[in-house]
Amino acid sequence: MPKALKNVIKFICFFGIGVLLIWLVTKDLSPKEWNDINAAFHRANYWLVIPAVILGIASHWFRAIRWKLLMKPLGHQPTTLNTFFAVMVGYFANLAIPRLGEVTRCGVLAQYEKIPAEKLVGTMIAERAVDMLCLLLLIALTILTQIELLGTWVQDKFLQPLQARFSHANTTQLLIVAVVVIAIVLLAIWLLRRFTRSKAAITIKALARGVMEGIFSIGKMENKWWFIVQTILIWGCYLSQVYIGFFCLTETSHLGISAALAVLMIGSIGMIVTPGGIGAYQGLVQKALELYGINYIIGFAFGWIIWVVQTLLVIFLGFVSLVVLPIYNKSRQA
């Protein structure tokens, strides 16, 4: 199957998932609720979008600088502008197909800075590994700092319903569940042993090794503390964007950093699920805000406001980068 066709199919599938999620979230809304959502959009303070946009641009700029730090030990020092443009083109591509942007930005920088693409892929894996580690730390920090609130939510939403369901189950039903669980575990073990030498398994192992090597290579960097500072600045910008966003709506203006941490955590997961987080981001953010007493209507509106601002910024900067890249590099060669 041609690669272009595969990409089209991937886009349709992932975009379809996003549309489905939006439909699931909105299908039961009454006309009054739609009017309330529309009213929330109209009374939002959009002047606060300006500092949020500035923070968004800053986060992408810090990411470009951090990526450059990973290339320096390899003997390559691209310009910050080219690196920034490549990052934005990558994010632009991610709106179509998740993870396509990583390959795209490596290709763009390889083209304009004459750096071997395979080396850039290694730095990209290392960078993504660091971001995944940051997300895991963010999840841990959110849980540890709000364990009572989150514990109550898990108890009410998951543990109690499960307990109620199993308390009414008879011995036969419990036995069936146990057999199914054991069968799944045995099947997983068999598949791991059966396909351990397959092409897919070898690829996954190589990717895992590359991720670990990328993480450990950061400790050998000459400017590793500057790398850590840039990482903190990137995630600090993300967190500040959410916190400033709370002030766009009166109903969310009282929320603090703890709520912003929770929204950032669950929103980051939503961004991974579908292209640009469409559908998933809004739904998950709305659910996160429920923990802090924000009603469905306001949570829905807030999720869409933040998502639209972030997405429009990526589209604008990605398009500008595509236009400016050849012009900028032509002027460098002159």
pLDDT digits (tens, 9 = 90+) for 220-253: 677 788 888 999 999 999 999 999 999 999 999 9
Q: How many Å apart are CA 237 and CA 61, to the nearest integer?
A: 11
Q: H or E stretch including 323?
A: helix 296-333
Is the model's pLDDT at 305 over the cut of 70?
yes
Residue at 26 is within a domain: no
Residue at 157 is within a domain: yes
Residue at 34 is within a domain: no
Q: What is the 3-state secondary structure of 175-216?
A: HHHHHHHHHHHHHHHHHHHHCCCCHHHHHHHHHHHHHHHHHH
Picking from 53, 56, 36, the residue whose alpha carbon sits closest to that of residue 237 is 56
Residue at 91 is within a domain: yes
Q: Give the pTM.
A: 0.77
Residue at 40 is within a domain: no
Picking from 84, 121, 117, the residue whose alpha carbon sits closest to that of residue 230 is 84
253-264 pLDDT, tens digit per residue, is 999 898 999 899
Q: How many Å apart are CA 139 and CA 152, to the nearest integer?
A: 17
Structural domain count, the chain: 1
Q: Write down the pLDDT at residue 7.
A: 47
What tokens does 241 get?
């964007």
Residue at 81 is within a domain: yes
Residue at 287 is within a domain: yes
Cβ(77)–Cβ(71) below 8 Å: yes
Provide the residue type at 90 as one letter: G
Domain that holds residue 287: 3-8+45-333
Provide the residue type at 114 as one letter: K
149-170 pLDDT, tens digit per residue, is 776 666 665 556 656 665 665 6
Q: φ, ψ for residue 249 (rounded to 5)?
A: -120, 135
Q: Write down the pLDDT at residue 214.
A: 54
Residue at 143 is within a domain: yes
